[in-house]
């Protein structure tokens, strides 16, 4: 039994196949596992988020702990460290925290954005049928009217650029087991969360069969009793 | 007086104007200042390195501390933390160490390599006259026969790509004073060292006048009594 921990709820985004549909939710799933905290999962479709929180939050993850509710993965991660100081820290100190944010400042525009450019239509098609019109409308609005089909057309030709952009991870992981070093840290959870998001929807394997990232991906998906292992997911590898 | 510290020697690379000519030396200058260690600087020209160490080391920085001598900026930084545990640590722990290496795994190919593509000829022209033939020969060999002039021709057209590649630093520094957070860490020294290397040789300002990196560059150059301030250097800004 984990005192207080039982009262944690994690509001997630769910696809038709039951997988979690957000790289940001995945970070918090890993963060909760890292801290050894149990929680109740509350799956929501894309169209249910706004109503579930009376308009207070527009994105998940949202975490509920006793009377506290909050969104935004970084706020949640920091809250978990402050609310559960006796459990393994997500951030050993201010410098690690800042360095992980710097990693994300590179990862979000260079990797995550490229992933969206390849898999946006796959996300749409994997969403619950009742969520698809909303997903299409909201994303195509952001794309200034470009359809998801146009946006992702010829995507295979853009795979090499995404694979190339992952070079810093390969260089680092030639030396370390995890981005965090010998043990995984929040930088691993950010990157693994993005890979798991792709694996949940992908109809085109993202990585070459012999990509040296495979060892780290396997280690990462195996963490915490195989948190990232789900037979409903697609392989990351050709 | 700093016990034992007086016996530290830092072998550096020197340009005709007397500035230090290596981004890797600059990291160690900052690292020594971070730890409050005094040292004797031994400037060497490009062609003097091999003879100075009887062929044992081919690159600087090289540090000498008592009977120990070692090259490679990462080995030196780790050595300084282990040899002077009572002084401010460069790495608060294994996770920070690993995160800084990840930062470098991005910075070296994405930023430093692009800088070399713009400033290789400037480095040549700023070297001591007696070092220039060696610098040209060794670099053009690596470039498979492309001359430094060919390599850097039309460089102004490649400035925007370099400036764009710095976007993760800008995003991070919109939130933090330093890459390390409230205080500078080895990630700052890696990046500042590259900027100082450019500033030592540049005949083309690297950054736009209104680049938001200016605040951090100024703070970084001002550290440790203005370690990065040298009237012989060129401005980073248009």
pTM listed for this prediction: 0.95
Q: How far is A178 from chain B (nearest CA, A)?
A: 9
Residues A228-237: pLDDT tens digits? Answer: 999 999 999 9
**Binary contact (B172, A97; C-beta < 8 A):** no
Q: Taking the CB of residue B88, how many other CB atoms lie within 10 A of it?
A: 11
* % of chain B with per-residue pLDDT over 70: 97
Q: Are A10 and A18 in contact (CB under 8 A)?
A: no
CA distance B38 to B59: 22
| Nearest CA-CA distance, residue B115 and chain A, Å | 17
Interface test with B, best of A34, A100, A102 (most B CBs within 10 A): A102
Residue of A81, A93, A106 to mutate, interface with B, max B Cβ within 10 Å? A106
Residues of chain A contacting residue B181, judged by C-beta atoms under 8 Å apart: 94-95, 97-98
Cis peptide leading into residue A201 (ω within 30°): no
B195 pLDDT more than 60: yes
Contact across the interface for A185 and B95, Cβ inside 8 Å: yes
Q: Is A6 exposed, middle or buried (0-12, 13-18, 19+ CB in 10 A)?
A: exposed
Give the chain A residue whose CA is nearest to the CA of B104: A168
Put simply, whether B179 touches A (Cβ < 8 Å) is yes
The answer to whether residue A179 neighbours chain B at the CB level (below 8 Å) is: yes
Q: Is the four-CA dihedral B61, B64, B65, B71 of positive or negative sign?
A: positive
Judge whether B32 and B8 are in contact, CB under 8 Å. Answer: yes
Select from B95, B168, B176 the Cβ nearest to the Cβ of A106. B168
The CA distance from B137 to the nearest CA of chain A, in Å, is: 29
Contact (CB, 8 A) for A180 and B93: no
Q: Give yes or no for B110 touching A (CB within 8 A).
A: yes
A187 touches chain B (CB under 8 A): yes
Taking CB atoms and an 8 Å limit, are B102 and A103 in contact across chains? yes
Q: Which helix (H) or strand (E) holds B13?
A: strand B8-13
Mean pLDDT of A150-167: 97
Sort B160 into a burial class: Cβ within 10 Å, 0-12 / 13-18 / 19+. Answer: exposed
Q: What mean pLDDT do residues A165-181 have?
A: 98
Which residues on chain B are in Cβ contact (under 8 Å) with A182? 94
Q: pLDDT tens digits, residue range B135-187? A: 999 999 999 999 999 999 999 999 999 999 999 999 999 999 999 999 999 99
Between residues B127 and A3, the one the model is more confident about: B127
Q: Is the pLDDT of residue B3 over 80?
A: no
How large is the average pLDDT for residues A170-196? 98
Of the candidates B96, B101, B110, which has its C-beta nearest A175's C-beta?
Answer: B101
pLDDT at A4 over 90: no
From CA A137, how far away is CA A75, in angstroms rounded?
A: 28
User: How many angstroms away from the CA of B151 is the closest CA of chain A?
Assistant: 23
Q: Which candidate from B102, B167, B171 shows the least CB-CB separation from A179?
A: B102
Cis peptide preceding A61, ω within 30 of 0: yes
Mean pLDDT over B194-208 rounds to 97
CB contact under 8 A, B105 and A185: no
Q: How far is A154 from chain B (nearest CA, A)?
A: 24
DSSP letter (8 states) at residue B88:
P
Which of B92, B99, B106 lies nearest to residue A168, judging by beta carbons? B106
Answer whether A236 touches B (CB < 8 Å): no
Alpha carbon distance B172, A98 (integer Å)? 8
Q: Is the pLDDT of residue B2 over 80?
A: no
Q: How far, in Å, CA of B202 to CA of B159, rounded?
A: 13
With 70 as the cut, is the pLDDT of residue B89 above it? yes
**Contact residues on chain A for B180, CB-CB shorter than 8 A:** 95, 98-99
Res. A135: pLDDT tops 70: yes
Q: Is the pLDDT of residue A21 over 90?
A: no
Q: What's the whole-number average pLDDT of chain B?
A: 95
- The reply to whether B161 touches chain A by the CB within 8 Å rule is no
Mutate which of B95, B107, B178, B190 to test chain A, going by most A C-beta atoms within 10 A?
B95
Q: Which residues contact A10 (CB under 8 A, 6 or more apart)?
A: A25, A28, A29, A32, A39, A40, A41, A42, A61, A62, A63
Beta carbons of A33 and A3 less than 8 angstroms apart: no
Question: How many Cβ atoms are within 10 Å of B235's Cβ, its own excluded?
Answer: 11
Distance CA B187, CA B191 (A): 6
> Can you give the pLDDT at residue B6?
56
Query: pLDDT (tens digit, 9 = 90+) per residue, A27-85?
Result: 999 999 999 999 999 999 999 998 999 999 999 999 999 999 999 999 999 999 999 99
Q: Decide if B94 and A181 are in contact by the 8 Å CB cutoff.
A: yes
Burial B166-201 (b: 16+ CB within 10 A, else e): bebbebbbeebbbbbbeebbbbbbbbbbbbbbbbbb
A-chain residues near B183 (CB < 8 A): 94-95
- Is the CB of A97 less than 8 angstroms away from the CB of B182? no
In the numeric block, the tokens 């104007």 are attached to B17
Show the 3-state SS of A168-235: HHHHHHCCCCECCECCCCHHHHHHHHHHHHHHHHCCCCCECCCCCCHHHHHHHHHHHHHCCCCCCCCC
pLDDT the model gives residue A3: 45
């Amino acid at each position: 039994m984990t005192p207080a921990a039982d009262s944690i709820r994690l509001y997630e985004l769910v696809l038709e196949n039951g997988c979690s549909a957000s790289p940001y939710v995945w970070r918090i799933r890993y963060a909760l596992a890292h801290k050894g905290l149990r929680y109740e999962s509350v799956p929501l479709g894309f169209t249910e988020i706004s109503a579930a929180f009376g308009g207070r939050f527009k994105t998940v993850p949202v975490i509920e702990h006793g009377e506290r509710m909050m969104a935004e993965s970084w706020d949640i991660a920091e809250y978990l460290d402050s609310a559960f100081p006796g459990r393994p820290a997500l951030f050993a100190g201010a410098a690690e925290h800042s360095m992980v944010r710097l990693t994300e400042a590179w990862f979000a525009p260079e990797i995550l954005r490229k992933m969206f450019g390849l898999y946006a239509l796959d996300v749409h098609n994997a969403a619950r049928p009742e969520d698809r019109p909303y997903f299409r409308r909201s994303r195509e609005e952001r794309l200034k009217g470009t359809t998801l089909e146009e946006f992702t057309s010829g995507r295979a030709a853009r795979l090499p650029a995404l694979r190339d952009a992952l070079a810093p991870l390969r260089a680092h992981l030639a030396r370390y087991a995890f981005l965090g070093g010998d043990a995984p840290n929040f930088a691993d959870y950010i990157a693994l969360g993005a890979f798991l998001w792709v694996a949940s929807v992908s109809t085109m394997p993202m990585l070459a069969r012999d990509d040296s990232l495979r060892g780290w991906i396997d280690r990462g998906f195996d963490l915490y009793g195989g948190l990232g292992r789900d037979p409903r997911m697609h392989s990351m590898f050709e």
